[in-house]
Chain A
Amino acid sequence: MDWNCNVEGNRLLVSIRGEIDHHTVQALKAEVDQLCQRHRIKHIILDFEGVDFMDSAGIGLLIGRYRYTAAQGGLTVAACVGKSLRRIFALSGLGRLIPVYTTVEEAKQSI
C-alpha cells in the first residue's frame, strides 16, 4: 500500500493505493495524524480510488479520522469507494457519519 497526502489550506486529501489491512495502515495513520497536528487540519478527504482491498482496519482508519475532524468541528469524507469495498462500508454503518462521494472533486465541493 502507498499513499499521497496533500495539504490544501485546512483540508487534507489522502489518496490511497493498494491493500488496506492492520499491518499496512499503521504508517498511514501516523502520517495523517502528524499532518493534522502540524497544519491544523479541519477536514479530511480519503480517496479510495486506488484501493482494491480493505478489511476492518480501513474502517478503523475512517472512524479515527472522523473522531479527529469532529473534534475540530470539521468533516471526514470518502471518495471513489469501489465495488469491492462497499460491502464492508455498508456493514460498518459508517455511511451515517462519513459521506461517500463518487469523485474527489465532488468530495472537495462538499466541504
Chain B
Amino acid sequence: MDNEMTLIFPSKGPNVAFARTAVVAFLLPLDPTVLELNDIRTAVSEAVTNAIIHGYGNKTGTITLRCTLRERRIVITVSDTGAGISDVQKAREPLFTTRPAEGCGLGFTVMESFMDKLTVTSRVGEGTQVRMEKELTGQREEEEEGERDDE
C-alpha cells in the first residue's frame, strides 16, 4: 500500500509523544510487528526531541514530519529550520553530546540502530533534516528474538 502524510507542529515538548503516536497510527494498517513499531516510534522520538532541544533550544519553531510509504518501505523525514549542526559526523558519534546535563549522546545512535538507513543533512543557521528509512518485514520471528533476554 502506498500512502503519505505530513504533520507540521510547534517545537513543544508534548508534541514528541504526539509525533511518535501519529507515526504508529499511520503504520498500523500494515500490521507491523510490535518490535518494528517500537523501533520506529523510538527513532521518531529521538529525531523530534533533537529538533526541539538542539534545533530550536529556548525558542519555539516549526517541525515538519513527513512519512512516505511505498509498499512496505517507510521513509520518515523530520525537518526543522533551527540552529543547524556544524559537524554532522561528530554529532553522529555515539555518546557525543553538546548538553551533557540533559542528554546522553545516544540519539543518532538509536536512530541508526533502530532504522535501516539514516541520513542527516544540516546547514548552520538554516536547519536540519533527518531522513530515516525502514522496510517492514512483518516477520514475527523477529519479535520472538526480541523477547529473549539480552543479557
Chains A and B are bound partners: yes
Q: Which residues of A contact B (CB under 8 A)?
A: 19, 21-24, 53-57, 59-60, 63, 83-84, 86-92, 95, 100
B121: Cβ under 8 A from any A Cβ:
no
Instruction: Write 9 A-B pairs (CB below 8 A) sorted by A numbering.
Output: A22-B49, A23-B14, A23-B16, A23-B17, A53-B20, A56-B107, A83-B146, A83-B147, A91-B109
Which listed residue, A22, A56, A63, A83, touches B110 by the CB 8 Å rule? A56
Are B39 and A87 closer than 8 Å at their CB atoms? yes
Dominant SS among interface residues on chain B: helix
Chain A nearest CB: distance from B137 CB in Å? Answer: 16
Q: Mark B42-77, 1 if CB is under 8 A from A, else 0.
A: 100110010011000000000000000000000000
- Is B17 a contact of A19 with CB atoms below 8 Å? yes
Besides A22-B52, A88-B110, 14 more A-B contacts (Cβ < 8 Å) are A21-B17, A22-B103, A23-B17, A24-B13, A53-B38, A55-B45, A55-B110, A56-B104, A57-B103, A59-B106, A60-B102, A91-B109, A92-B104, A95-B150
Return chain B residues, CB-CB under 8 Å to A92.
104, 106
Give the chain A neighbours of B14 by CB distance below 8 A. 23
Given A55-B46, A91-B109, A22 contacting B151 (CB threshold 8 A): no
